[in-house]
Homo-oligomer: A and B are copies of this chain.
């Protein structure tokens, strides 16, 4: 069987860690001898054993002369666990096939170099694009310190996310909304503007599917959030951070602190709103590697305008609304040639809706 064949299997293993490994990457590994899989493993959860070690364990321990297939370059440093490269050398692995180099500064090709210097054949870049896409959050985060930002919204065919009066319940079908909950569960945080809290009073938890709740983040420069907002309840199940500015209402501030809600004071932008870059940086420092942005239009527009969004997941309902509210407001773009460019990654049906996933290629 080809290297691609085994790497595809390793990718499938890696995906089992979806939503559980952050801020670590998802990794899958396979050990093969004489065209027979003798061990397999994946990174199950942040802080637990790496995929390679789990695969070695799965063989019973004898990996001598065998080939390791791993979606991401093995580590060579002490983190929460000892370096994987040591275990491979100790076990006299015969060959190592790697999906992609780990851009983490403490790895970044070093492990490949160590293995090569020790006379072990290595092949890198097998199904590289798939391996890259698997860990888009981790890769952005490890290289920039900022979380990977995905914009998510549901719109009608004619581009409306709500009626002119602000009503958006429900544009998309129930099966789309279930998928949207599943999407929540694979992000470290969900971000909305306070306008969305005031209009819809969402819970922002994962209810329609059984998964882990992400951190809930509300950008609220003046602390206009009502203390009765649903996003402030059930802090044990899903903690909430309110991001505000120095202009915050002081009474509300103490009330929130009294409710044991974390309030994060960040800089403000030229409009007096929460400086989103500053907020993302703070979230990155807290280990939040990925954020799903669920609106409203102001926060979506601002993230796009500042080049802070990486991806868009758009649910398109087979409906036409006419006048209403659009997801993206004025970006200052006056010319077709200056639009923000994306590329479609996936398009699929979900119930009666269509779901489009697109990567944002460049900022305006």
Chain A residues close to B by CB (< 8 Å) = 155-160, 163-165, 167-171, 301, 304, 312, 314, 316, 318-323, 326-336, 339-344, 347, 349, 352, 354, 356, 358, 360
Please report the C-alpha to C-alpha distance between residue A112 and residue B322 in the assembled complex, in whole angstroms. 45
Q: How far is the CA of A336 from the CA of B320 in the complex (A)?
A: 10
**Which listed residue, B157, B163, B322, B343, touches A314 by the CB 8 Å rule?**
B157
**Chain A to chain B contacts (Cβ below 8 Å), 28 pairs:** A156-B339, A157-B314, A157-B342, A157-B356, A158-B326, A158-B328, A159-B326, A159-B327, A163-B334, A164-B334, A165-B334, A167-B335, A167-B336, A318-B341, A318-B344, A319-B342, A320-B340, A320-B342, A321-B328, A321-B333, A321-B339, A322-B329, A323-B330, A326-B326, A343-B352, A344-B349, A344-B352, A344-B354
CB-based nearest B residue for A156: B339
> Assembly of this chain: how many copies?
2
CA distance A336 to B335 in the complex (A): 32
> Which residue of chain B lies nearest to A165 when distances are taken between CB atoms in the complex?
B334
List chain B residues, Cβ under 8 A from A301: 322
**A167-B335, A312-B157, A336-B163 known; A347+B344 contact, CB < 8 A:** no
Residues of chain B within 8 A (CB-CB) of A356 are: 157, 316, 354
- Most-contacted residue by chain B among A159, A170, A323 (CB, 10 A): A159
Are the CB atoms of B335 and A318 closer together than 8 Å?
no
Complex partner residue of A331 from B168, B321, B342, B352, CB under 8 angstroms: B321
